[in-house]
Amino acid sequence: MTERPEVTAYIGLGANLGDRVQAVRSAVEQLGAVPSVRLLQASSLYRSAPVDAGGPDYINAVVEIATTLTAPALLAALQAIEQAAGRERPYVNAPRTLDLDLLLYGGARIDSPRLTLPHPRMWERAFVLLPLHEIAPGLVPRKALTAVVAGQGIARL
């Protein structure tokens, strides 16, 4: 049996409960330890106001990985890391100890009940676009970045 080719994927990380900085840093380390995942690079940390949600400010980052996992298998690994960090989902956009979003998985376009790729709201969120632009500037058009960041509170730590 031949191994699947590696795919480049981007993951958004965020936390707004507990030790937010430690939660995001720990999640980056845990991502690098997932079998069949290689951590390529991580953005700086950013502080952002919640979007369509309440609670304290978020700490956010984006990582680039190479993986031989399928997109659904990668999503399952992300959700396992969230669960280990105490993630609860009492209601939509509830404050969270850790949130890991699969943003892009190669050039895949998926629209299923469990997974939509590219992430459906990533182009509307400064806390995704700014760190993504930092590590992969060619993926984020300057016009999109300027328009979104201007309307949302975000600061690089």
The catalytically annotated residue of 25, 38, 57, 101 is 101
Q: Which amino acid, one-letter code, is at 10?
A: Y
| Residue 19 annotated in active site | no
Strands 7-15 and 46-48: unpaired
For tokens 């981007």, name the residue.
10
HSE value, Cβ hemisphere, 13 Å, CA-based, for 9: 32
The catalytically annotated residue of 99, 111, 121, 125 is 99
Q: CA 18, 152, 134 angle in degrees (round to 5)? A: 80
| Residue 52 annotated in active site | no
HSE value, Cβ hemisphere, 13 Å, CA-based, for 6: 11
| Residue 125 annotated in active site | no
| Residue 57 annotated in active site | no
Q: Let me know if 10 is exposed, middle or buried by CB neighbors in 10 A (0-12, 13-18, 19+).
A: buried
The catalytically annotated residue of 19, 96, 121, 125 is 96
Q: Are 119 and 128 in contact (CB under 8 A)?
A: yes
Q: Which sequence positions are flagged as catalytic?
A: 87, 96, 99, 101
